[in-house]
């Protein structure tokens, strides 16, 4: 159904249908004009010949009267084109004075009937009737002219019906038009699809950026120099500018984080020394304690920012050793058993067969612990958090699932960004860097981190390490 919907929404298909529709209208209009012109020409030729004959015979009647007209018609009847004419003189009362009917107009119908013979008996006789035949394939063209003496001269001829005569033309037009329209739709669709290929590339690139957050994606530049190619170039320029701005923002943030670490560390050390010296009142000591605590929070934030930057640049230090992924996940999850119990949650750890990997166990434990902490934070009381380690084909996978509200599909790609927080997490404490750090650690291992919603609800986070890392 998705393929059908995509075809239905296709701009190329709409273009081809519009083109075919307008072409069919134009083609039909041309045929209608041609059909009407041919019909009028055929009819005018029939009547033009009859008018010439009418003028000739009217002149003969004026010179020689009715008998002279009859003699002239009798002489002309040797010609086939006159023999087929219908002629008659009509009197003032509408009665026929004289007439000539072509033989091919007449049809004789003989019928045997029984009639009285006048002597009280019945006898069989043959009765003949003569009538003018009429069919759908013939038309009757008649012209008239008044003559002296209140007479009316009529001349007519049986002609082929225009409908019947032009029927082959209509049939030919019907199938030719059908073939032309179908070919036009097909050719128009292929042409329009080729012309709109850069637009589809723009849509696919935009969809990929929204889904994956990969700002390095670009639309392939078309070879043409038309308006669509210009649109593609401007679209790529916008992406380049956005990527440059984001890079500058990250660079500035990294620089700020780097520059703030030293003065913050000095501030914390000063507050700690002042607290250790004592000599002040309780309020002053409490203030120094708050300064140390806040400094630790900011330093943790700056440390996380710098580690994420190092991981994204491929410079995060990893100490890789052979280790068991299942045991790493177990140890990280066990740290939160008391927290889960306090939140009235069930923390389940399912570790099957050994899952050996070559990785940095400290960094993997940090990634798993971060996801378990998130799952406990967003799962309501009475819920379940499950940690699993397994093999899936060539990959080694740790999954953390919960029975919480899940992650909206529109935000699943964004939760890995720095400092991003979903609307439902605004009320929770945190810096918005945990998931960014998790993904950075997995990318540094050559793996990946993904999130989706489970069939029964809740979020499912997966950490994957490829076979090359095992």
Which of 355, 385, 353 is closest to 369 using CA atoms?
385
Q: Could you tell me what percent of the chain has a pLDDT over 90?
A: 6
Is residue 439 classed exposed, middle or buried when 0-12, 13-18 and 19+ CB atoms within 10 A define those classes?
A: buried
The pLDDT, as a whole number, for residue 108 is: 58
Q: Which of 207-216, 309-318, 413-422, 456-465 has the highest mean pLDDT?
A: 456-465
Residues 102 and 158: beta-carbon distance below 8 Å: yes
Lowest mean pLDDT among 30-44, 145-159, 410-424: 410-424
Domains of the chain in start order, with CATH, are: 10-100+137-195 (no CATH), 227-312 (1.10.287), 321-469 (3.30.565.10)
The pLDDT, as a whole number, for residue 61 is: 80
Residue 102: partners with Cβ closer than 8 Å, 6 or more residues away: 83, 84, 85, 86, 158
pTM: 0.44
Q: For the sheet with 151-160, list strands across it.
A: 96-100, 85-90, 151-160, 138-147
Dihedral angle computed from the Cα positions of residues 264, 270, 273 and 277, in that order, rounded to the nearest 10 degrees: -150
Which of 389, 405, 400 is closest to 347 using CA atoms?
400
The pLDDT, as a whole number, for residue 198 is: 77
Distance CA 366, CA 373 (A): 10
Distance CA 37, CA 96 (A): 37
- What is the DSSP pairing of strand 395-402 with strand 356-359? unpaired
CB atoms within 10 A of CB 156: 19
pLDDT tens digits along 420-440: 666 554 445 444 567 888 888
Kindly report the CA angle at 301 between 271 and 453, in degrees rounded to 5? 145
Distance CA 186, CA 20 (A): 9
The pLDDT, as a whole number, for residue 136 is: 56
What is the average per-residue pLDDT within 330-352? 90
CA distances from 144 to 28, 64, 89, 90, 148 (A): 37, 19, 10, 10, 13
């Amino acid at each position: 159904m998705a393929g059908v919907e995509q075809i239905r929404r296709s701009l190329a298909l709409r273009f081809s249908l519009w083109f075919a529709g307008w072409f069919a209208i134009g083609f039909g209009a041309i045929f209608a004009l041609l059909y009407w012109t041919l019909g009028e020409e055929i009819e005018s030729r029939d009547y033009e010949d009859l008018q010439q004959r009418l003028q000739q015979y009217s002149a003969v009647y004026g010179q020689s009267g009715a008998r002279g007209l009859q003699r002239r018609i009798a002489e002309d009847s040797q010609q086939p084109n006159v023999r087929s004419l219908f002629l008659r003189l009509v009197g003032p009362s509408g009665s026929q004075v004289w007439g000539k009917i072509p033989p091919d107009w007449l049809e004789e119908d003989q019928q045997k009937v029984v009639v009285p013979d006048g002597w009280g008996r019945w006898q069989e006789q043959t009765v003949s009737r003569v009538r003018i035949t009429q069919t759908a394939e013939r038309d009757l063209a008649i012209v008239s002219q008044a003559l002296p003496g209140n007479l009316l001269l009529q001349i007519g001829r049986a002609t082929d019906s225009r409908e019947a005569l032009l029927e082959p033309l209509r049939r030919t037009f019907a199938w030719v038009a059908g073939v032309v329209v179908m070919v036009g739709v097909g050719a128009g669709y292929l042409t329009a699809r080729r012309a709109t290929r850069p637009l589809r590339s723009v849509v696919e690139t935009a969809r990929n950026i929204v889904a994956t957050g990969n700002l390095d994606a670009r639309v392939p530049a078309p070879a043409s120099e038309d308006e669509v190619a210009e649109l593609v170039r401007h679209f790529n320029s916008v992406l380049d500018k956005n990527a440059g701005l984001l890079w500058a923002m990250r660079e500035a943030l990294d620089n700020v984080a780097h520059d703030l670490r030293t003065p913050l560390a000095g501030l914390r050390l000063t507050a700690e020394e002042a607290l250790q010296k004592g000599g002040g009142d309780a309020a002053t000591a409490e203030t120094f304690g708050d300064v140390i605590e806040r400094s630790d929070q900011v330093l943790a934030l700056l440390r996380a920012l710098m580690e994420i930057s190092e991981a994204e640049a491929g410079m995060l230090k990893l100490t890789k050793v052979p280790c068991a992924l299942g045991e790493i996940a177990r140890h990280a999850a066990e740290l939160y058993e008391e927290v889960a119990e306090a939140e009235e949650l069930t923390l389940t750890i399912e570790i099957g067969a050994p899952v050996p990997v070559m990785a940095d166990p400290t960094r993997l434990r940090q990634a798993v612990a971060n996801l378990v902490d998130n799952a406990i934070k967003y799962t309501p009381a009475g819920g379940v958090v499950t940690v699993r380690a397994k093999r899936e084909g060539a990959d080694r996978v740790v999954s953390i699932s919960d029975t919480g509200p899940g992650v909206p599909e529109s935000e699943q790609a964004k939760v890995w960004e720095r400092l991003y927080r979903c609307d439902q997490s605004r009320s929770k404490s945190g810096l918005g860097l945990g998931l960014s750090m998790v993904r950075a650690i997995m990318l540094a291992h050559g793996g990946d981190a993904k999130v989706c919603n489970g069939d029964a609800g809740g979020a499912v986070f997966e950490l994957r390490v490829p076979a090359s890392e095992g």
